[in-house]
Amino acid sequence: MSRSILVAAILLSACASAPKPRELEALEQLRASPSLEAAQKRAPDLVEQSNKLFNKAHQEWQSKDLEESRRDALMGHIKLDTAYALTEQDQARAKIIEISHQLVQNNDDLLRAEKDLVVAREQVALLKRLAETKSSADAAALKAIEEKQAMEKKLREEQDRTQAQQKVSQAELALKTADTVDAIHNAKVEYGAAMDLVTRAQNEFKAASYAAAGTSAEMAKQKAEQAFAAAKPIFSEVEKNKDLQSRNDALSKDAASIPGVSVRLERRGEVQRLVIPLPNLFVRKQTTVEPSAGATLDQVARLIRKYPGYPVQVIGYTDKVGRPTELVALSLARAQSVQSALLVRGVEASRMMVSGQGANEPVNDNRTATGRKQNNRVEVSFLFQ
Amino acid sequence: MRSLVRTVLVAFTILIGTARAHASQEAADLKRQIETQQAGIVDLQRLDAHRAVEDEITRLRSWLDEAFSQHAQAKWDHVRELIDRCLAQAELIRQKINVAQLSAQLSLKTAELKQTRERLQSTRASLEQATIQKKAMEITSK
């Protein structure tokens, strides 16, 4: 039994295949490469030789001729490896050609891009210079505008100053005009306000607040004009009175200087009379002026002509001796004689009012001769208010 | 008969002599081939600037050594087989050196291409920037 088992084992071991040589396995792996097809196209002789050697090595392995199988597999490996190397060379050369083409293309593109870049940078540089030039021109224009604005401002200020000065001057002039009518007394409120406003305008002008100074000056001018308007009638009235008074005084003084005449001033209501009594013009009941009275009448006539604004009354009076109607007629005749004498001496008739008062208004006692002599008189009166 | 034997003996002797001479000449020829290939290894090493086939050269050298060994044992068939294998191996080494050289050249070209592309990209970016700047300044100057 044991002998038969031993024989069977020996037979089985004899029938079992030998282990595959390492070189054959390596060749098999190399043949499984995806590059095999390309290698067949590139080096068909080498691949064919390798195939034959592989088949031979395989058969030798199966027939347990391991050494021969190993050698043939090794040689087939070398042949196939060489075919692969040739394929790799072709692939590398193709890639090099492709990359070279790309390089040429890239270099062309690069050259164009660099040229374009140079052009673009030159244009940018030109634009920068242009912008700088424009900027400096703008700055100069801006500076010119600013200078112009400054000059205009200065001019406006000067105009404002001049206008304000003119207004202040006008206000001062108006104030001086108001002074001419004594507004400081005749229109105290308006004049005081105008004065304050002028002072304020002057201070504002000094402080270079020309607009405010102008406004204050205008107000001052208005107030001064109001003061003038308010004071003028009062002042006129006062001046008129002063003038009249002085004329009256002058008249009185001139009248008093006539020799042999004593003047008197009478007030009858609103009317005043400067009376120049002319005695000794007539003899007894005569109505003709004595020649000796010519000098006095000359001076009276000169006085009347000197003061032409005064109305003149020529009134005759008598003493009380006789009938009143006769005395009135006598006194009127004597007054008319004096009027005629004055007319002869250049006095206008229209200025003179002639009347006879008879024995009325005696100036002395009619019981004495001296008194009666003085009552027989003609009075020339200047009338005024 | 005697002359015939003599003739045969002479012919046999000549044949043996010729065979020996031929074998001796072939042995020298094989040795010369081995030495030639060994001398070629130096050239192959010099060509292998990229050290791409050092293993292959080592293998070739060992096979040539083996061929010498077999030559010394007068195993001519083995020697011839080894010489054929070494020739094939040397061819393989040359082709692989070519592959290495072409790969190096390809790497250089690839690097050059990459560099050129980067330069082109940079130049185009600069150009685009300059164009934008130019357009902006043109608009501003109007």
Task: Tell which of A46, A91, A110 to mutate to test the B interface (max B CBs under 10 Å).
Answer: A110
Mean pLDDT per block of 10 residues along chain A (385 residues) reads 52 64 96 95 96 97 95 96 96 96 95 94 91 89 94 90 90 89 88 92 91 91 91 86 82 86 84 87 84 89 91 93 90 93 92 92 89 90 86
**H-state helical runs in chain A:** 2-15, 22-31, 36-42, 44-62, 66-180, 183-186, 188-206, 210-256, 294-306, 324-344, 369-375
Nearest residue to A258 (alpha-carbon basis) of A271, A272, A274, A234 = A274
Q: Are residues A379 and A288 in the same domain?
A: yes
A74 neighbourhood in chain B, CB within 8 Å: 85
Distance CA B142, CA B139 (A): 5
Q: What residue numbers bound the domain in which B114 lies?
A: 25-141
Q: Are residues A259 and A326 in the same domain?
A: yes
Taken as a whole, chain B contains a residue count of: 142
Cα-only R_g, chain B:
34
Q: Are residues A213 and A257 in the same domain?
A: no
Complex confidence, ipTM: 0.83
Q: Is B113 on the interface with A (CB under 8 A)?
A: yes
Which helix (DSSP H) or strand (DSSP E) does residue A35 occupy?
none
User: Chain B: residue nearest A128 by CA?
Assistant: B137
Q: Quote the distance between the C-alpha of residue A258 and its chain's center.
A: 74
Note whether residue A30 is domain-resident: no
B95 neighbourhood in chain A, CB within 8 Å: 82, 85-86, 89
pLDDT for B1 beyond 70? no
Q: Which of A92, A99, A130 is the closest to B99 by Cβ?
A: A92
Q: What is the pLDDT of residue A148?
A: 95
Q: How close, in Å, is residue B22 to chain A by CA atoms? A: 27
- Asked if B84 lies within 8 A of A106 by C-beta distance, the reply is no
Scan residues 83-102 of B and list those with Cβ closer than 8 Å to A.
84-85, 88-89, 91-92, 95-96, 98-99, 102
Note whether residue A241 is domain-resident: no
CATH number, domain of A276, equals 3.30.1330.60
- Asked if B130 lies within 8 A of A120 by C-beta distance, the reply is yes
Note whether residue A104 is domain-resident: no
Task: Label residue B111 exposed, middle or buried (CB < 10 Å: 0-12, 13-18, 19+).
Answer: exposed
**Which tens digit of pLDDT belongs to each residue from B10-59?**
777 777 767 666 778 889 999 999 999 999 999 999 999 989 999 999 99
Asked whether the beta carbons of A275 and A379 are under 8 A apart, the reply is yes
Note whether residue B18 is domain-resident: no
Distance CA A271, CA A385 (A): 5
- Asked if A79 lies within 8 A of B88 by C-beta distance, the reply is yes
Total number of domains constituting chain B: 1
Asked whether the beta carbons of A358 and A324 are under 8 A apart, the reply is yes
Note whether residue A236 is domain-resident: no
Q: How close, in Å, is residue B7 to chain A by CA atoms? A: 43
Total number of domains constituting chain A: 2
Q: What residue numbers bound the domain in which A341 lies?
A: 253-384
The token duo for A382 is 């200047």
Distances A30 to A22, A223, A354, B90 between C-alpha atoms, Å:
12, 128, 178, 19
DSSP, collapsed to helix, strand or coil, labels residue A288 as coil
Q: Are residues A294 and A369 in the same domain?
A: yes
Note whether residue A371 is domain-resident: yes
Asked whether the beta carbons of A221 and A163 are under 8 A apart, the reply is no
- Asked if B99 lies within 8 A of A120 by C-beta distance, the reply is no
